[in-house]
Structure 1
Amino acid sequence: MATRERGTVVQRLGSAIADVVERWMPSPFLFAILLSYVVFVAGILVEGAGPAAMVGYWYDGFWTLLTFGMQMVLILATGYVVAYHPLVRRGIERLTRIPNDGRQAVVLVGVIAMVVAWVQWGLGLIVGAVLAREMGRQAHERGLSVHYPLLCVAGYMGMGLTWHWGLAGSAPLLMNTPGNVFVEQGIVDGLISTSQTVFSGYSLALTVLGIVYAALALYLLAPTRENSTGITEYVPLSQLRGTESADVDTTAADGGTTTSAAGDGSAEPTPSDRINNSQVVGGVIALTGVGVAVWTFATEGLAALNLNVMNFMFLFIGLALFTSPEAYENEFGEAVLATSGIILQFPFYAGIIGMMNSSGLSTTLAETLVSVSTPATFPAVAWITAGIINFFVPSGGGEWTVIGETILQAADQLGVPPGQAVVAYAVGDAHTNLFQPFWALPLLGITGMRARDVFGYAATVMLLLIPFLAAALILIPY
């Protein structure tokens, strides 16, 4: 323990919190189950709902997010496929050779993860995870001292900061999606354009300043050489050799002929094999899809950006990269495997939403918090509200359907622009992902880590971000 005492105050704080979390944090699935019990009991005690009624709310809520859940899985899967293309993997490998010490490595991974997640959070999550693992491997081979748990947190920083006010942010895109529930119920008069949210000066300033501040926090958190634990303490050395070839079939991914139907490749490919791997067949439909996406933005501008357009665009970008339909299908299958934990847990969190909504618990919590705000402090209060509820409902769009009405109505009463209210909410939802392990499941699988190995440092970063976000949300002009 003597070596643990060395280092700065920030380094010791990160180490202490990491020790506590590693000892006590449950698995992500158990986390969801425990939260279900917490909301169940809270609905009974706070709202006076009966146990049987709460069970009914839980069951009814289980199936309310199927459409949205599929949209989220598609964002993650399409981002995964693009991130695992050999061209992207080779770019990642080159990036890992840049840092000369552990602190530079952590900052580089964090900045790239945050920037890419702003573009597409699924891509940012997977690129961050792959980059963290590859950086850990390169550090081991080059003899650099890098604390692997913090490196993995850096790879998760896009989900913990920039994703929800970026190009694939659930709430901003949902508010610009025709026929969304807020328009249908008359909560807002019409669509809230991305020019008021994602592309507003308020949001862009938050993005730039947030990345700079988070990079500084990661730099200060990086442990001393004596306290750093490398990747080989968590991932067996045998699994680090040949990770590129093990993770993706580069022959198939580059559009080459696979041997799935031709045994060892010595037999003459059948006509169906040729069609399955035809770059012409895959390329034409891929370019058509990409062309449709480009035409949509050319004719409608950035206001066309919504969840469906984002998924459509990345679905065909992936196919354009792989060109071979069979190679793309195989890689997509791998991507879906990476989302299995999310698919399993999404209905449980939808059940939590059902209990919170139907019992009135979500409205009570949101109204209590929002009632203490003023026009000046409202963005910070919306951030806190979203952050608290995100512990129980770790789905940006799903959570927005829970508290969006309350936040938008309060913003209207206080004279706060609805776009600013959406962005402030999005900040809170992303921020507490740093203690909610739901969206980290793909990262944990890729990096070979457990949630409790990583989330001590993630929670520390979450705490360090609080003063910056509180000040930025209030002081940055909209």
Structure 2
Amino acid sequence: MAAGSRDEREGTVIQRLGSRLSARVERWMPSPFLFAIFLTYIVFVAGLLVEGEGPVQMTQYWFDGFWILLSFTMQAVLVLVTGFVLAYHPFVQRQLTRLLSIPSTGRRALLLVGLLAMVIAWFHWGLGLIIGAILAREMGRQAHERGLNVHYPLLCVAGFMGLALTWNMGLSGAAVLLMNTPNNVFIQQGLIDSLVPISRTIFHPQMITLLILGIIYVLALLYLLSPPDSEKEGMTEFVPESELGEFVETEDEPATPDGGETAAATDTTDGPHSTETVPADRINNSRILGGVIALSGVAITIYTFATQGLNALNLNTVNFAFLFIGFALFTSPEAYAEQFGEAVTSASDIILQFPFYAGIIGMMTNSGLAGTIAESIVGFAGTETFPAAVVIISTIVNTFVPSGGGEWTVIGPIVIPAAQNLDVPLGQTMIAYTFGASLADLIQPFWALPLLGITSMRARDIFGYTIMMLILALPFFLVAITVVPYAGSFWSGIIPF
């Protein structure tokens, strides 16, 4: 809907600003892949002008960095894919559909989708991203059928808020888990001599308090940004009604019968159209075999946490746990492999674009540009304002390096010594970092790619609202991270830790 066709006299100031910004972004925002290319050239030129590097040297930095995220890329892909597989299990989808039948108004639907997306992403960012997208699409479909007046672009933003707020602070947050991973890059570099346990980050009272306040504030923003009824655009404005369909499967189990008795099993010895079930089919689809594999993985996960406690949480244990939880849900090895294969397609854009962002990391790190950004901001900070400075640094850098763990490897070597010099606890520094890194996703479309595919939206359809969310949320979190204390004496007797 063009900006000029809107009645700007309707709605609150926030609603009008959100609508205007959404209209502008819809006209001008490029595709996420071109966004990555543009950022590449911006960093290239900045290296020339700010750091005085030559074009050949900047090109070499880009080339040298292109593959530095291969290991982390695989970890990120597994987080996303394991979450995708769980989200698309029929049992999970049925429960989501029942939940979404509860709201009786468009705004309540918006708040429910946002709340569920943020809570689930705290447990697992890949699961939160995919379920958030499913919630947005399914709620849009139900709203169309039930006559609820809901603005579909903002509904998709609500489904994305898990990635834009809570995931970095949760159980699969890359940076905090990296700091708790033995022999991590910062220990190897001699910047720290011991791990930073999650009791000082994820489960610290300051983090929990800020997380709760943040969720409440974001829900309030979603409510306030919802346009007047006359301006709301339902799902059918973006998705043809013929394509809405029944988004959630109705089967009780994945479509693989017990014992491997598949209707389309093929015996290759009798030709391509044979329907005879052979022993290999029974083995491939054996729920007994799948159950044994699943139980083995789940048992190892339980043993790991029983012997090491919650400090066992790191990217590898998270991926391992969710990989076998998915196996336990599907049980049939063949059914799980097929669903896993379908889920991998959701990560195709990550596989394509991550090397380009790794190249950006190479240029920012080797040219000294990332250090210049961090040092210029840290230089104005004192002990009390240092956490807010870290929020700003991580928000800026994450726009160019959309990876919680990848970005932290870039700015950590500058931020960690500064925190130590100011006697700011590393746990508090990490908490501040997680907020900025999450908020940057509101202007960086990279992690929205799976959501856009599931909801049939374009980045420019929703990023006017996400940018507005950032404008309204960043000042709140800068104040909150400053006034909510980290010191243990404040929390003693309130929350044990």
Contact 1:255 1:322 in 2 (8 A): no
Partner of 2:461: 453
Q: Deviations over 1:431-450 (max 9, x none)?
A: 01011000000000000000
CA contact (8 A) 1:118 1:167 kept: yes
Instruction: Tell me by how many angstroms 1:426 deviates.
Output: 1.1
**3-state SS of paired residue (1:179):** coil
Partner SS, residue 462 of structure 2? helix
Residues 228-377 of structure 1: pairs in structure 2 closer than 5 A: 228-245=232-249, 250-252=254-256, 257-262=261-266, 267-377=275-385
Kindly indicate whether residue 161 of structure 2 is the aligned counterpart of residue 157 of structure 1. Answer: yes
Indicate the residue corresponding to 2:449 in structure 1: 441
Q: In the TM superposition, what is the alpha-carbon distance from 1:2 to its structure 2 partner?
A: 4.8
2:224 matched to 1:216?
no
Contact between 1:258 and 1:327, CA under 8 Å: does it hold in 2? no
1:142 aligns with 2:146: yes
Q: Does 1:110 align with 2:114?
A: yes
* Letter of the structure 2 residue corresponding to residue 321 of structure 1: L
The offset of 1:247, in angstroms, is 12
Q: Which residue number corresponds to residue 180 of structure 1?
A: 184
TM-aligned CA distance change 1:266 to 1:172, over 3 Å: same
Q: Which amino acid aligns with 2:356?
A: F
Q: Is the 8 A contact 2:382 2:422 kept in 1?
A: yes
Write the deviation string for residues 106-128 of structure 1: whole angstroms up to 9, x where unpaired. Answer: 11000000000000000000000
How many residue pairs match? The answer is 478
Aligned-partner Cα distance in 2 for 1:28–1:8: 31
1:202 CA drift (Å): 1.0
How far apart in 2 are the matches of 1:16 and 1:253? 53
Establish whether residue 404 from structure 1 lines up as the match of residue 408 from structure 2. Answer: no
Q: Which letter does structure 2 place at the counterpart of 1:39? A: V
1:184–1:94 Cα change, 3 Å: same
Equivalents in 2 of 1:339, 1:248: separation in Å? 27
Q: Distance in 1 between matches of 2:81 and 2:246?
A: 23
The list of structure 1 runs, each at least 4 consecutive aligned residues, that deviate by more than 2 angstroms after superposition, is: 1-5, 242-250, 252-268
State the one-letter code of the partner of 1:172. V
CA distance in 2 between counterparts of 1:429 and 1:467 reads 15
Question: Displacement of 1:260 after TM fit?
Answer: 5.0
> Which residue pairs with 1:55 in the alignment?
59
User: Aligned pair in 2 of structure 1 residues 135, 272: CA closer, same or farther (>3 Å)?
Assistant: same
1:3 CA drift (Å): 3.0
* Alpha-carbon distance in 2 for matches of 1:28, 1:318: 30
Q: Per-residue deviation at 1:254?
A: 9.1
The one-character-per-residue Cα deviations of 1:319-365 (angstroms, maximum 9, x if unpaired) are 11001111111111111101101110000000000001111111111
Once the two structures are superposed, residues 247-279 of structure 1 have per-residue CA deviations (whole angstroms, 9 ceiling, x without a partner) of 999423999754453399993321111111111
Other-structure match for 2:434: 426
Question: Matches of 1:71 and 1:257 in 2, distance apart?
Answer: 35
CA distance, structure 1, for counterparts of residue 256 and residue 273 of structure 2: 13
| 8 Å Cα contact 1:84/1:248 also seen in 2 | no
In structure 1, what is the Cα distance between the partners aligned to 2:227 and 2:9? Answer: 11
What is the TM-score of this pair, normalised by structure 2? 0.93
**In the alignment, which residue of structure 1 is the partner of 2:93?**
89
Q: Is the 8 A contact 1:253 1:328 kept in 2?
A: no
- Does the CA contact (< 8 Å) of 1:197 and 1:420 recur in 2? yes
Cα deviation digits, residues 438-469 of structure 1 (max 9, x gap): 00000000000000001111111111112220
Structure 2 unmatched ranges of 5 or more: 487-497
Distance 1:265 1:176, change over 3 A: farther
Letter matched to residue 114 of structure 1: M
**Secondary structure in 2 aligned to 1:327?**
helix
Aligned-residue identity in percent: 59
Write the letter of the residue equivalent to 1:326.
Answer: E
Deviation at 1:287, TM superposition (A): 1.1
Could you tell me how far 1:189 is from its partner in structure 2?
1.0
Task: Go from structure 1 to structure 2 and tell me whether the alpha carbon gap of 1:40 and 1:253 turns closer, same or farther (over 3 Å shift).
Answer: farther
What secondary structure sits across from 1:156 in the alignment? Answer: helix
- Change over 3 Å in CA distance of 1:138–1:257 after alignment to 2: farther
Q: Distance in 1 between matches of 2:476 and 2:262?
A: 51
Structure 2 residue aligned with 1:68 = 72
Match of 1:27 in 2: 31
- Cα separation, 2, equivalents of 1:292 and 1:89: 28
Range moving further from structure 2, 1-10 or 246-255: 246-255
Residue by residue over 1:388-427, the C-alpha shift from the partner in whole angstroms, topping out at 9 and shown as x without a partner, is 0111101111100000111111110101000110111111
Contact 2:284–2:332 (CA under 8 A) maintained in structure 1: yes
1:105 & 1:392 partners in 2: Cα distance?
33
Residue matched to 1:475 = 483
1:339 aligned partner, one-letter code: A
**For 1:269, what is the secondary structure of its paired residue?**
coil
Task: Indicate the structure (1 or 2) with the bigger Cα radius of gyration.
Answer: 2
* CA separation of 1:370 and 1:74: change in aligned 2, threshold 3 A: same
Are 1:463 and 2:467 matched, yes or no? Answer: no
Query: Shift of residue 245 of structure 1?
Result: 4.2
Contact 1:251/1:257 (<8 A) preserved:
no
Residues 2 and 447 of structure 1: CA distance in aligned 2, closer, same or farther (over 3 Å): closer
Displacement after TM superposition at 1:5 (Å) = 3.0
2:218·2:473 contact (CA, 8 Å) conserved in 1? yes
Counterpart-to-counterpart distance in 2, 1:94 and 1:182: 46
Cα 1:257–1:132 shift into 2, 3 Å: farther
Task: Decide which moves more: 167-176 or 465-474.
Answer: 465-474
What SS does the aligned partner of 1:81 have? Answer: helix
Q: Which moved more, 1:4-13 or 1:352-361?
A: 4-13
Give RMSD over aligned pairs: 1.8
Q: For residues 196-254 of structure 1, what are the alpha-carbon distances to aligned partners after superposition, in whole Å with 9 as ceiling and x for unaligned?
A: 11111111111111111111111111111111000011111111113234999942399
Q: Distance in 1 between matches of 2:288 and 2:258?
A: 14
Q: TM-score, normalised by structure 1?
A: 0.97
- CA separation of 1:244 and 1:474: change in aligned 2, threshold 3 A: same
